[in-house]
Amino acid sequence: MKEMLNIALPKGRLGEKVYAMFEQAGFPCPSIKENNRKLIFENQEAGVRYFWVKPSDVAIYVERGAADIGVAGKDILLEYRPQVYELLDLDIGKCRMAVAAPAGFRDDPNRTLRVATKFSRIARDYYAGQGRDIDIIHLNGSIEIAPILGLSDVIVDIVETGTTLKENNLEVTETVVPISARLIANKASFKFKNEPIEKILQQMAVLTER
Work out how close the CB of 112 gets to another protein at its nearest, in angstroms, rounded to a whole number: 25
Work out how close the CB of 194 gets to another protein at its nearest, in angstroms, rounded to a whole number: 7
Asked if residue 5 binds another protein (CB under 8 A), the reply is no
Interacting residue with another protein among 86, 125, 171, 174 (CB under 8 A): 86
End-to-end, the C-alpha distance of the chain in Å comes to 35
Asked if residue 63 binds another protein (CB under 8 A), the reply is yes
Nearest CB to another protein, comparing residues 63 and 153: 63
Q: How far apart are CA 77 and CA 97, in angstroms?
A: 13
Interacting residue with another protein among 44, 83, 169, 173 (CB under 8 A): 83
Nearest CB to another protein, comparing residues 7 and 155: 7
Backbone dihedral angles phi then psi of residue 178, each to the nearest 5 degrees: -70, 145
> What is residue 40's three-state secondary structure?
strand
Nearest CB to another protein, comparing residues 40 and 188: 188
Q: How far apart are CA 154 and CA 83, in angstroms?
A: 31
CA atoms within 13 A on the CB side of 52: 17
In 3D, which of 60, 64, 94, 93 has the Cα closest to residue 79? 60
Q: Which residues of 24-59 are buried (b: 16+ CB within 10 A; e: fewer)?
A: ebebbbeebeeeeeeeebbbeebebbbbbbebebbb
In 3D, which of 101, 80, 96 has the Cα closest to residue 150? 101
Interacting residue with another protein among 89, 125, 171, 174 (CB under 8 A): 89
Work out how close the CB of 155 gets to another protein at its nearest, in angstroms, rounded to a whole number: 25
> What is residue 157's three-state secondary structure?
strand
Q: How far apart are CA 183 and CA 201, in angstroms?
A: 8
Interacting residue with another protein among 46, 84, 134, 181 (CB under 8 A): 84
Nearest CB to another protein, comparing residues 32 and 122: 122
Site for another protein in 147-206 (CB under 8 A): 185-192, 194
Work out how close the CB of 131 gets to another protein at its nearest, in angstroms, rounded to a whole number: 14
Q: How far apart are CA 90 and CA 28, in angstroms?
A: 18
Asked if residue 85 binds another protein (CB under 8 A), the reply is yes
Residue type for position 145: I
Work out how close the CB of 68 gets to another protein at its nearest, in angstroms, rounded to a whole number: 10
Work out how close the CB of 74 gets to another protein at its nearest, in angstroms, rounded to a whole number: 9
Can you give the binding site for another protein, defined by CB under 8 A? 63-65, 83-89, 185-192, 194
